Chains A and B, each alone.
Chain A
Amino acid sequence: MRVRFVLPAVLAVAASCGRSTPASGSGAIVVYTAASVAIPIRAALDTFAAHQHVAVQQENGGSLDIARKLTELHEIPDVVVLADYDVFPKLLMPGQTTWYAEFARNRMVLAFTNTSKFASQVDSVNWPQILQRPGVQVGRANPDLDPNGYRTLLTMQLAERYYEQPGLYDKLMKLSPAKNMRPREADLVGVLQAGEFDYIWSYESLARATKLRYVTLPSAIDLGTPADTDLYAQATVKVAGKTPKDTLTIKGEPIVYALSIPTRAPHPAAARAFVSFLLSREGRSLLRANKLDALDTPVIIGRGAPASVRAAVSAP
């Protein structure tokens, strides 16, 4: 009896030791997705999987989190979708990939629920005053870990200029102290819904996908309009750099999503097919149906992008 139980156990342990790649042994294509676009990418992946009869696997996390998985843990997926295009040149090129495609944009909003304080009064104009009323709790993401975290700071800074209210930045910061912080913007949603926060700084895509109500901010401060790039660049924030003791200055930029296929992707052909589908007209309308603002003409940056991906971008 014992022997019969022991053998499979030894084999199982031995098998588990020999694995070094991420959970892709099944032949499924693996897509690492920034948590803020997990839902639209999931929809595109499901449609693609149904068309092509391939298995797909999605892992969601913060953009920097995902980049670290590639650079430090050497877990190489087939496709990487990040909420901040800047992460590609900063962390992943040229080691992990030589190109990336900008394919969608987003904007900062203030999300809330029906039970949030002053939910019936807040709007795009009075939000700075509403947030400052007594007892209002505002949540935000960690600027050292998550692009949404430092974009929140950039939006607050831009708001101070836009509304011509000196000191507004400090006041807004005081409303969401360290205890109201969570690692990423996706972590804030559940806490908001549980009633711990009244408002959270978030992305429009996430607020819509999770069916939250939200305040739209003026385009001059919401980091959502590529035409306002120069205006956004006037805001800068300092976040942690390569070590906790270093600092890195980040300039305001429009929020643009980008994706790429790592050079050492385990299933490059399937990855090319998926990316081509995602960037095609059908893929773009699927993303839009899932509340992600897909760019009409995706932009490829860098060299070495596969021909099929280039063709999908330039197709009418």
Chain B
Amino acid sequence: MEPVARTSFAPRSFAAHRTASILAGLCGSIFLLFLVAPIARLVAGGGTSGVAELFTDAELRGALWLTAVTATVAMAAGALGGTPLAYLLARRAFRGKAVVAAVLDLPLLIPHPVAGIALLLILGRGSAVGRALLHAGIQVAGSPVGIVCAMVFVSAPLYISAAREAFARVDTRYESVARTLGDPAWRAFRRVTLPLSMRGLIAALVVMWARAVSEFGAIVILTYNPKVASVLAYDRFTGFGLTEALPVAAVLSILALVPLIALRALRPDRGAGMDG
């Protein structure tokens, strides 16, 4: 909006920019409605009964709890494994960088049930890795481990690309100054780069967590039971119809708002100037 407001003082194109502003506003409003209306309808239709069911329906409580735990574990795994990768992609030039970046986006393009099968081929009991995991007592398919794997696979690319952008927005000169003042690379990263990119990183984590919570297709291939909330909502719909499915979906939407708002509110403001 800002550039439009600033340039609209130029007298010659004032009318054109005014029209553009109105149209953009109209378009934005319709679009916002398009995004919000289905969720509002969902919550209006099933919100009250969903919240009431939280007290009576142990399966629903179990599914929501499992979803929250697995999505958080997936998010932590993404942060742990994805942050160095994102930093590397933002800061270093190396051979094959474009290929690596493209490959990292691939999981976003694969239809999710296919992603589930692909994960099974690598981590299932038919594979060498899967057999080794089983030997170590870790069952992937049919367990929460499978849920986390599916979540990481479909949501980590979103985190990595957003985190890469966040790192790229931090001016390298700040890091150089820290280095010339005697900080080793790790310390410069921890004391300069990380705080300056924290806003962007937290936003990236929020996106990853939300994407993980909403995943269905890959999870249902790897782990149908125990059920996460998305699988339970699908089950209730196909098995019992809309009246049973709406409360599950509504309560998931309501509860997902809490961590989303909390994370957005808690993000530090120190990096505001860098990526605002």
Q: Residues of A with Cβ closer than 8 Å to B?
A: 2-3, 6-7, 9-10, 13-14, 16-17, 61-62, 64-65, 68, 71-73, 115, 137, 142, 144-145, 178-183, 187, 190-191, 193-196, 240, 242-244
B30 and A14 form a contact (CB under 8 A): yes
Contact of B221 among A2, A62, A187, A244 (CB under 8 A): A187
- Of residues 236 through 250 on chain B, the ones whose CB sits less than 8 Å from some CB of chain A are 236-242, 244
Check B185 for interface membership: any CB of A closer than 8 A.
no
Cα separation A17 to B33 with both chains bound (whole Å): 11
- Of residues 216 through 269 on chain B, the ones whose CB sits less than 8 Å from some CB of chain A are 220-221, 223-226, 234-242, 244
7 residue pairs, one from A and one from B, having the closest CB atoms: A195-B126, A179-B142, A178-B225, A194-B120, A72-B242, A2-B20, A196-B124
B221 and A190 form a contact (CB under 8 A): yes
Given contacts A142-B224, A178-B225, A244-B244, contact A183 B126 (CB under 8 A): no
Contact of A10 among B23, B221, B238 (CB under 8 A): B23
Contact of A179 among B143, B238, B239 (CB under 8 A): B143
Q: Which residues of A contact B224 (CB under 8 A)?
A: 142, 179, 181-183, 187
Check B117 for interface membership: any CB of A closer than 8 A.
yes
**Category for how many chain B residues contact A:** 35 or more
A-B contact pairs, 29 of them (CB 8 A): A3-B16, A3-B19, A3-B20, A6-B23, A6-B24, A6-B27, A9-B27, A10-B23, A13-B31, A65-B238, A68-B238, A72-B242, A115-B126, A142-B239, A145-B239, A178-B142, A179-B139, A179-B141, A179-B223, A179-B225, A183-B235, A191-B117, A191-B120, A191-B221, A194-B126, A195-B120, A195-B125, A196-B125, A244-B57
From A14, A61, A71, A179, name the one whose CB has the most chain B CB atoms within 10 angstroms. A179
Check B34 for interface membership: any CB of A closer than 8 A.
yes
B26 and A194 form a contact (CB under 8 A): no
Q: Which residues of B contact A244 (CB under 8 A)?
A: 57, 59, 236, 239-240, 244
Q: Which residues of B contact A17 (CB under 8 A)?
A: 34
Check B40 for interface membership: any CB of A closer than 8 A.
no
Check B113 for interface membership: any CB of A closer than 8 A.
yes
Q: Total A-B pairs in contact (CB under 8 Å)?
A: 109
Q: Which residues of B contact A243 (CB under 8 A)?
A: 240, 244
B241 and A71 form a contact (CB under 8 A): yes
Given contacts A7-B23, A13-B31, 7 further A-B contacts (CB under 8 A): A6-B20, A142-B239, A179-B224, A183-B234, A194-B117, A195-B124, A244-B57
Q: Residues of B with Cβ closer than 8 Å to A?
A: 16, 19-20, 23-24, 26-27, 30-31, 34, 57, 59, 113, 116-117, 120-121, 124-127, 139, 141-143, 220-221, 223-226, 234-242, 244
A2 and B220 form a contact (CB under 8 A): no
Cα separation A16 to B20 with both chains bound (whole Å): 23
Task: With both chains docked as a complex, state the minimum distance between the C-beta of A53 and any C-beta of chain B, in angstroms.
Answer: 31
A145 and B235 form a contact (CB under 8 A): yes
Given contacts A190-B117, A195-B125, contact A183 B238 (CB under 8 A): yes
Q: Is the interface of B mostly helix, strand, loop or mixed?
A: helix
Cα separation A183 to B59 with both chains bound (whole Å): 17
Q: Which residues of A contact B121 (CB under 8 A)?
A: 194-195
Cα separation A9 to B242 with both chains bound (whole Å): 32
Cα separation A191 to B221 with both chains bound (whole Å): 7
Which residue from chain B places its CB closest to the CB of A178 in the assembled complex?
Answer: B225
Which residue from chain B places its CB closest to the CB of A91 in the assembled complex?
Answer: B241
Q: Which residues of B contact A182 (CB under 8 A)?
A: 220-221, 224
Which residue from chain B places its CB closest to the CB of A193 in the assembled complex?
Answer: B117
Q: Which residues of A contact B23 (CB under 8 A)?
A: 2-3, 6-7, 10
B120 and A64 form a contact (CB under 8 A): no
Q: Which residues of A contact B143 (CB under 8 A)?
A: 179
Cα separation A43 to B142 with both chains bound (whole Å): 35
Q: Which residues of B contact A145 (CB under 8 A)?
A: 235, 238-239
B142 and A180 form a contact (CB under 8 A): yes
Task: With both chains docked as a complex, state the minimum distance between the C-beta of A182 and any C-beta of chain B, in angstroms.
Answer: 5
Contact of A2 among B24, B117, B127, B239 (CB under 8 A): B24
Task: With both chains docked as a complex, state the minimum distance between the C-beta of B116 and any C-beta of chain A, in angstroms.
Answer: 8
Given contacts A10-B23, A191-B141, A196-B124, contact A183 B220 (CB under 8 A): yes
Given contacts A7-B23, A68-B237, contact A13 B141 (CB under 8 A): no
Q: Which residues of B contact A7 (CB under 8 A)?
A: 23
From B20, B238, B240, name the one whose CB has the most chain A CB atoms within 10 angstroms. B238
Cα separation A180 to B226 with both chains bound (whole Å): 10
Task: With both chains docked as a complex, state the minimum distance between the C-beta of A188 and any C-beta of chain B, in angstroms.
Answer: 10
Q: Which residues of B contact A144 (CB under 8 A)?
A: 235, 239
Q: Which residues of B contact A71 (CB under 8 A)?
A: 241
Task: With both chains docked as a complex, state the minimum distance between the C-beta of B177 and any C-beta of chain A, in angstroms.
Answer: 40
Q: Which residues of A contact B27 (CB under 8 A)?
A: 6, 9-10, 13
Cα separation A180 to B125 with both chains bound (whole Å): 13
Q: Which residues of B contact A6 (CB under 8 A)?
A: 20, 23-24, 27
